[in-house]
Amino acid sequence: DSGVTQTPKHLITATGQRVTLRCSPRSGDLSVYWYQQSLDQGLQFLIQYYNGEERAKGNILERFSAQQFPDLHSELNLSSLELGDSALYFCASSVGVDMETQYFGPGTRLLVL
Amino acid sequence: GQSLEQPSEVTAVEGAIVQINCTYQTSGFYGLSWYQQHDGGAPTFLSYNALDGLEETGRFSSFLSRSDSYGYLLLQELQMKDSASYFCAVRATGTYKYIFGTGTRLKVLA
Q: Across the interface, which of A35, A42, A101 has its CB nearest the CB of B48?
A: A101
> Residue B2: pLDDT above 80?
no
Q: Is B49 on the interface with A (CB under 8 A)?
A: no
The amino acid occupying position B86 is Y
Residue A26 in contact with partner chain B when CB distance is under 8 A: no
pLDDT at position A91 is 97
Distance between CA atoms of B70 and B66, rounded to whole angstroms? 6
Using CA of residue B73, residue B36, residue B7, residue B67, what is the dihedral sign?
Answer: negative
Q: What is the spatial distance between Cα B12 and Cα B78, in angstroms, rounded to a whole number? A: 8
**B98 inside 8 A of chain A by CB:** yes
Instruction: Find the angle CA(A95)-CA(A106)-CA(A51) to the nearest 5 degrees.
Output: 30
How many angstroms away from the CA of A82 is the closest CA of chain B?
23
- Residue A19 Cα distances to A6, A8, A12, B46, angstroms: 14, 10, 10, 32
**DSSP string across A55-97:** EEE-S--TTEEEEE-TTS-EEEEE-S--GGG-EEEEEEEESSS
Establish if B95 touches chain A: CB-CB under 8 angstroms: yes
Question: Chain-wide mean pLDDT for chain B?
Answer: 92
Average pLDDT over residues A15-25: 98
CB-based contact A3:A63 (threshold 8 Å):
no
Q: Nearest CA to B46 among B56, B36, B54?
A: B36
pLDDT surpassing 80 at residue B53: yes
Cβ of A100 within 8 Å of Cβ of B31? The answer is yes
User: pLDDT category, A112, cuts 50, 70, 90?
Assistant: very high
Residues A23/A107, Cβ–Cβ less than 8 Å: no
Query: Does the pLDDT at position A6 exceed 80?
Result: yes
Q: Rounded to a whole number, what is the distance in Å from the CA of B12 to chain A's nearest CA?
A: 21
Q: Is the pLDDT of residue B68 over 70?
A: yes
B-interface mutation test, from A2, A45, A59, A88, most B Cβ less than 10 A away: A45
Q: Give the integer Cα–Cα distance in Å for B83 and B22.
A: 18
B43, B98, B99 ranked by CB distance to A104: nearest? B43
Percent of chain A predicted with pLDDT > 90: 88
pLDDT of residue B1: 61
Asked if the C-beta of A15 comes within 8 angstroms of chain B's C-beta atoms, the answer is: no
